Amino acid sequence: MKNVYVFKVALKHVKGLWRRIEIRSDQTLGNFDRIIRDAFNHDTWDHLGEFYKERWSQGGYGEIYPDGKGSGTGKQIEQLGLSEGDKFGYVYDFGDEIHHILTLEKIMEPEKGVKYPRVISKNKPNYRYCETCKKQGQKTIAKWICIECSEDKESDVILCEDCMEEHEDHFVDEILY
Ligand SMILES: [Zn+2]
Ligand SMILES: [Zn+2]
């Protein structure tokens, strides 16, 4: 019995950022919401998520709260009636509206001993480098962006793990690759 769905989940408004996710047909949109949040560094303590068919404005499958509750949580993947090649949408954060396009690439047999859902691959990262280190002639991958300093300087202040310590009291966000 084939019951693992392989989805490519891509950010709609940022080019080149995607994750390939496997989920079992009997798992729910609540399970899917959770792994998308993890895979894209979205909060798991704030903001709503919702899956939808074509346009979110035409209504979705129901709200999903960060704690996994909500009217859109219980629906099973197989109840969506999807075939290979079908697309649907997911929105995270009803204020900022971060939209994702989900494409069902394949339905396949489950692998023994694998815990689903899981991320099996992702886009090739297009790394940016820490600006503080750059000034000292070093090339270190930036992991954080300081939102406060970026707003002050009106350009992205991006930092490696070590250099982030000086911004610990600021509002920083993890950079998604
Ligand atoms: Zn640095
Ligand atoms: Zn800062």
Cα 79 to middle of ligand 2, angstroms: 46
Residue 25 contacts residue 5 (beta carbons within 8 Å):
yes
Position 4 confidence tier, pLDDT thresholds 50, 70, 90: very high
SS3 86: coil
pLDDT tens column, 124-160:
999 999 999 999 999 999 999 999 999 999 999 999 9
Cα 14 to middle of ligand 1, angstroms: 25
Size of the chain in residues: 177
Taking 90 as the threshold, does the pLDDT of residue 1 lie above it? no
114-117 contact pairs (CB < 8 A, 24+) = 114/22, 116/4, 116/22, 116/23, 116/24, 116/27, 117/21, 117/22, 117/23, 117/24, 117/27, 117/31, 117/32, 117/35
How far is Cα 122 from Cα 8, in angstroms, rounded to an integer?
Answer: 9
Cα 131 to middle of ligand 1, angstroms: 7
Would the pTM count as exceeding 0.75? Answer: yes
Cα 161 to middle of ligand 1, angstroms: 7
Position 20 confidence tier, pLDDT thresholds 50, 70, 90: very high
